[in-house]
Amino acid sequence: MKIISYNVNGLRSALGKGFLQWLQGENPDVLCLQEIKVSQQDFDPVPFRNLGYETYIFPAEKKGYSGVAIFTKLHPDDVIGGINHPLYDREGRNLRIDAGELSILCTYFPSGTTGDERQAVKMEYLDYFFEYIAALRNKRPYLLIAGDFNICHREIDIHNPKENANTSGFKPEERAWMEKFFQSGFIDTFRYFNPQPHAYSWWSFRANARQKNKGWRIDYIAATQNLQNRLVSACMQQHVVHSDHCPVVCEIK
């Protein structure tokens, strides 16, 4: 089973850049999207249904902002929007499907790059999300969390760690949270298969950052430890350019 997570930075924008043709060629079983930036009334599911997908979206209340989606060829037993927190749910940050024993949570963590106020929101989100996931695992122990975490875990995950040591997305307290998260029983599926450096999933639009591969790895598919023997492969599709992010892929038995 192939799972892809992709921050598309606007679904309609990506559709204008060949996204549908890419999706048809890749044919994942489950596609988790972040920053869809489309409302329920403006979303057209037909092109995706024509490719065999059931489509579920959880948009933000604010127009043109945030929002997540899951397109799936699995028929879910349950679909859950949000994580029971009014602020984060209004911002359209989490959507989960349960299919048999497996749960897949699509997530889009807040960014703190706009200033101290949003950085504080981000840190509060991290605390809440950690507790939410711990409780969820008691009910749904086989869990994949796929999405844009807006944090680089380690120095290998960012092109210039020293310059960005106190930049949002690479702050010591954010990296410590990532370490705590993975140590709590999750596998970073990309790093499980790919220990090499210079592998990034997001690049600034400025200064030809993507062409120079001056990027950040902030997009992850995390799997609970009990799925380790079912992991087949993981990669990032850095050549795919519908967005400032690239797709991240994981295959499991």
Catalytic residues: 148
CA angle, residues 234, 239, 241, in degrees to nearest 5: 115
| DSSP result, the chain | -EEEEEE-SSHHHHHTTTHHHHHHHH--SEEEEE-----TTT---HHHHTTT-EEEEE--SSTTS--EEEEESS--SEEEES-S-HHHHHTT-EEEEEETTEEEEEEEPPP-TT-HHHHHHHHHHHHHHHHHHHHHHHH--EEEEEEE-S---SGGGBS-TTTTTTSTTS-HHHHHHHHHHHHTTEEEHHHHH---SS--SEE-SSTTTTTTT-EE--EEEEEEGGGGGGEEEEEE-TT--SSSB--EEEEE-
Burial of 89 (0-12, 13-18, 19+ CB in 10 A): middle
Burial class, 237, CB count within 10 angstroms (exposed 0-12 / middle 13-18 / buried 19+): middle
Report how far residue 76's alpha carbon sits from residue 224's, in angstroms, rounded to the nearest whole number. Answer: 19
